[in-house]
Each structure stands twice: as C-alpha cells, then as structure tokens.
Amino acid sequence: MTKPIIRIKGLHKSYGELEVIKGIDLEVVKGEVLVIIGPSGTGKSTLLRCINLLSSPDKGQIWVDGDEVTAPHTDINKIRAKVGMVFQDFNLFTHMTALDNVMIGPSKVKGMSKEEARELALFELERVGLVEKADAYPGQLSGGQKQRVAIARALAMSPKVMLFDEPTSALDPELIGEVLEVMKKLAREHMTMLVVTHEMGFAKEVSNRILFMEDGNIIEEGTPQQLFYNPREQRTKEFLGKITELYGEEG
Amino acid sequence: MAELAKFWEMIWPELGRGLVVTLRLSAGSLLIGLLIGFPIALMRVYGTRWMKALATGYVDAVRGTPLLVQLFFIYYGLADPTINQLLVNLGLPEGFLVLEKITAAYLALGCNSGAYQAEYFRGALQAIDAGQMIAARALGLNRLQAIRYIIIPQALRLVIAPWSNEVAYMVKYTSVVYIIAVQDLFGETRRIMSAHYNQMTMLPFVGMIYLVIVLLITWGMGRVEKQFHIPGLQIDVERV
Ligand SMILES: Nc1ncnc2c1ncn2[C@@H]1O[C@H](COP(=O)(O)OP(=O)(O)O)[C@@H](O)[C@H]1O
Ligand SMILES: [Mg+2]
C-alpha cells in the first residue's frame, strides 16, 4: 500500500457552541486527487484549514507526510511550507508583482537566494502559462490569471500536497476553464490534491475519489462512478442532483 | 511700490527666521510623531492585551485633551519644583525635566501628532484584507514575517494620503507655540505687529505664507503617493 500523505484520525472542531467537524477520519495517499463536495457551511473549508493549522483542531490527530501536525511543539511553519493552499478569492499579495508573489515563499521561508528564487518563480509561472505576466500586479490580472499565479505561488514551495478551497467559485464562467486546465495538468503530474469544488465535470474526469460531506460528517465516499451513478445515500443523490441543476454536467 | 519694498526689507529678516523655525518644528514634530505613532499602531493591532491597552490609553488621552493643555503640561508642568525634587531623589540631575522652550514645543507637538498618526496607521493596517495574512501564514511565513513583508508595505502605501493631511495640520498647529514664546513664524509676526501696529497687512500676508506651504505640501505628497501607487492597492483609509 502507498504511504498516506495526509492521515486524519477522529478530528473534531467547534467554533464556540457550533460543532463544525464532528469526528472525521481520512487518509489521502500519494498522487491521489480527492474531491470534497457538500452543501455550504458543512465544514469543508474548516477541514482543509485544520490540515495546515490555519484552524486548530479541538480533538483528533493529523499527520502530513509522516509528521504529526497536531503534536505539541510542532513547527507549524515547516508543515505549512509542505502544504500548498489555494483560496477561493486568490489572496495574492496586492503590492507584489506576480513574480514576487511566487518568489516570496522560497526566499523568505526556505531561505533561497534571490537569483535561485527568481529562476524557480519563472519556472512555476511558466508551468501555469503566465510567464509573460511576471511583472504584472494582481490588480492588472484577470481572475483566472490571479488564480493561476496563486497556484504557482503554492507550487514554488514544492508542496507534498495541494489544498484547493473552491478555486473557481469566484470566477466568471469563461475564466473557470483555464484554472481547471492547470489543475488537471497537476493531477497528471501526480500531485496529491484535496479539492473542494462544485465542478462536477472536473470531479468526474480527474478525481480518484469523491467525498460527500454534510453537517460536519463524511456521509459517503467512493469513486466518481459510484457516487454519480450508484450512490448509497439518498442525501448524496439529492445533493448531486441539485449541483448538476445549478452548475450543469460540466460544472 | 517703494514703500512695500521697504516694508518687506524691514520684516523679512525676522519673518524668515520665524519661517525656518516653523518648518523645522513641523518636520521634527512629524518625525517624533512618526516614531511614536507607527509602533503604537502596531501595538494596537498586533500587540498583546497589555500592549493594546497601553496604546489605546495613550491615543485616547492625547486625542481627548487640548493641545494647549499638553503644551503647558510639558513646558510648565514638568518644570514644577515638586517633580524636580522627585527626580533629584531618584538620582537624576537637577532640572532634568525643566525644558527649553523649543524642546517643549517639539515634544508637545510630536507626542500629540503621535496619537493622530497612530490612528492613521491603525486605519491602514486594518484596511488590509484579512486574506493577505492568511495567505502569508499558509505559505509558511511566520507572523512577524507576514506583518513585515506583506502587511506593512501595503499599509504604508495606504497611509500616504491621510498622512499628508497630518503634515498640513502640523504646519498650522505649530503656531500655538507662540504662547510659550517660541519665535516661530507666528511668534515673529506677533512681534512685528506689536511694534508697528500693522496687523491688517501682516495677518493676511502671513496667512498667505501658511497657505502656500500647505499647498506645496499637498502637491508634493500627491506626487509621492503617485510614485508609490500600485494598481489594485487603493483603499480609502479615511473611510474605515
Ligand atoms: N473562524 C470562524 N469563526 C466562527 N465560525 C466559523 C469560522 N469559520 C467557519 N465558521 C462556521 O463554521 C461552519 C462551517 O464553515 P466552513 O468550514 O467554511 O464550511 P464550508 O466550507 O463547507 O462552506 C459555518 O457555519 C461557518 O459559519
Ligand atoms: Mg468553504
């Protein structure tokens, strides 16, 4: 069996009175593309954010690439450097060019020299097809371009796993394709990915496994084939029906 | 015409001296205010509970009391014999806080400006979208690095516009120091007026000098703002 890159055991998380994650167990192996779907407010973002400790779990254990994230005295920043994260609203650093956005991680977190970091950043921008926008500020890029730069920024840290939190939800429909293309390319390169998305076309085509979450629990998981054509749970069926109605077959 | 030239010749040496004092006082007090205000703002936004309380206390105390009271406190209050005795007992030199007029002026204006500048900087720091910090931390930058490389460079750009208001205010507010007999532009003006009874000429004339300085500053700061402008980075700080 392949080594799990992410292992989660008995994860619980509450915000005040509100229990958002109600005991989740999950393993993601190297090279796997896991798509997480579910109604909004069910804890999908919180689950991703617990993995790199942007939210701190209340109970349970999480391992990333063999290191226990939840152990006391873990070097959080070292773990975060191994986990790439892509946000719904991009969060590119507004005052930096695309190139500087991609450079800052390697140079400030990994202590890479300016020249090395620059070369790496250009390589990563090339990977997302935006090398000609290296000197543009985020304010001069389209939403799709911003998200591709954000992906390059995460890739520049050579992460063991990439977390995508609704990466195309803030995009105009005509810009979604270019971002999904980059993500598909990453999947073909065997990047381990956890993707929260409503893009069912992407899920069907690229994912190895789909996980349906509702109300802080994993309701059902399986291959795209199983979930789309033969779901066990009525709730899964209803949700997929609604999503397809809202976003269409291809998302 | 000849009369005007003669008048000008008469007042210029004193007025020029006063103008230099006003400009120095403005620049110095702004600098003191910056050195106080920026750290206070950082404490208020990113500090521990105690730092926040301390910073808030300072800002409220200064903004809630008249500048003249602050000036008198620093010049006359600190020179009080009881305080002097207290300091001597603590092993400090005799007359340690008995300040020169000009020193008191710098301190009062600087400490006062510090509180207002702290508010400008705080507004700018808080105007930065929370996602910037989250993205920085997710990348592996620690909190200090995130503040230093991501938040502060953006906040400094956003603060230029409100900060230039403070510069213009400062040039005008310096005129209160005539009251402790500092010979700034307005102090000299008063001296000239009491010697020549020509307030109807002097006051509009000096008012014009202040106006020209303020206009020049506004123009200059506008240039600075343009110089540092980054497309997409423009939040109206005064609104927040
Ligand atoms: N920082 C927070 N503080 C308080 N409540 C939060 C916070 N983050 C998320 N929540 C709440 O937790 C629940 C789950 O949120 P989230 O994980 O973002 O769900 P999803 O991504 O599935 O839409 C929601 O009810 C949300 O309002
Ligand atoms: Mg979410």
Centroid of ligand 2 to alpha carbon of A215 (angstroms): 13
Asked if residue B153 has pLDDT above 50, the reply is: yes
Contacts of B231 in chain A (CB under 8 A): 137, 139-140
Assigned token pair, A153: 């920024």
The predicted model gives B84-106 an average pLDDT of 90
Asked if residue B240 has pLDDT above 60, the reply is: no
User: Is the reported ipTM for this assembly greater than 0.85?
Assistant: yes
pLDDT at site B47: 95
**Interface with chain B: mutation pick from A108, A145, A161, A162, highest number of B CBs within 10 Å:** A108
pLDDT at site B237: 45
Asked if residue B238 has pLDDT above 50, the reply is: no
- In b/e form, how buried is each residue of B193-225, taking b as 16+ CB within 10 angstroms? beeeeeeeebeeebeebbeebeeebeeebeeeb
DSSP letter string, B104-126 = HHHHHHHHHHHHHHHHHHHHHHH
> Shortest Cα distance from A205 to chain B (angstroms)?
28
Phi-psi region of A29 (alpha: psi -120 to 50; beta: other; left: phi over 0): beta
Of A78, A87, A108, the CB nearest to B145: A108
Of A89, A109, A137, the CB nearest to B139: A109
Assigned token pair, B211: 């106006």
Contacts of B232 in chain A (CB under 8 A): 94, 137-140
- Distances, alpha carbon A49 to alpha carbons A85, A158, B59, B214, in Å: 9, 19, 36, 50
* Residue whose pair of structure tokens reads 């510090």 in the numeric block: B114
Ion ligand 2: residues, Cβ under 5 Å: A 45
SS3 state at B149: helix
Helix axes B101-127, B49-63, angle to 10 degrees: 120
Cβ <8 Å between B230 and A94? yes
* Alpha carbon distance A140, B109 (integer Å): 42
**Interface with chain B: mutation pick from A95, A107, A149, highest number of B CBs within 10 Å:** A95
pLDDT at site A226: 93
Asked if residue B144 has pLDDT above 60, the reply is: yes
Instruction: Among A240-249, B12-21, B31-40, name the one with the lowest average pLDDT.
Output: A240-249
Q: Is B153 on the interface with A (CB under 8 A)?
A: yes
pLDDT at site B10: 85
> Shortest Cα distance from B125 to chain A (angstroms)?
14
Global pTM reads 0.91
* Alpha carbon distance B159, B240 (integer Å): 12
pLDDT at site B9: 86
Centroid of ligand 2 to alpha carbon of A46 (angstroms): 7
Q: Which ligand is nearest to the Cα of residue A167, counting in written order?
A: 2
Ligand 1 atom, smallest distance to A48 CA: 17
Nearest CA to ligand 1 atom 26: A41
Residue of higher predicted confidence among A1 and B75: B75
* Alpha carbon distance A42, A121 (integer Å): 36
> Shortest Cα distance from A96 to chain B (angstroms)?
9
pLDDT by 10s per residue, chain A, length 251: 578 999 999 999 999 999 999 999 999 999 999 999 999 999 999 999 999 999 999 999 999 999 999 999 999 999 999 999 999 999 999 999 999 999 999 999 999 999 999 999 999 999 999 999 999 999 999 999 999 999 999 999 999 999 999 999 999 999 999 999 999 999 999 999 999 999 999 999 999 999 999 999 999 999 999 999 999 999 999 999 888 787 766 54
pLDDT in tens, B203-223: 999 999 999 999 999 999 999
Q: Is B229 on the interface with A (CB under 8 A)?
A: no
The predicted model gives B174-188 an average pLDDT of 94
The predicted model gives B101-125 an average pLDDT of 97
First to last CA, chain B: 52
Q: Is A216 in the pocket of ligand 1 (CB under 6 A)?
A: no
pLDDT at site A218: 96
**Interface with chain B: mutation pick from A94, A100, A158, highest number of B CBs within 10 Å:** A94
CA dihedral B61, B62, B64, B70 (to 10 degrees): 110
Confidence of residue B235 (pLDDT cuts 50, 70, 90): low
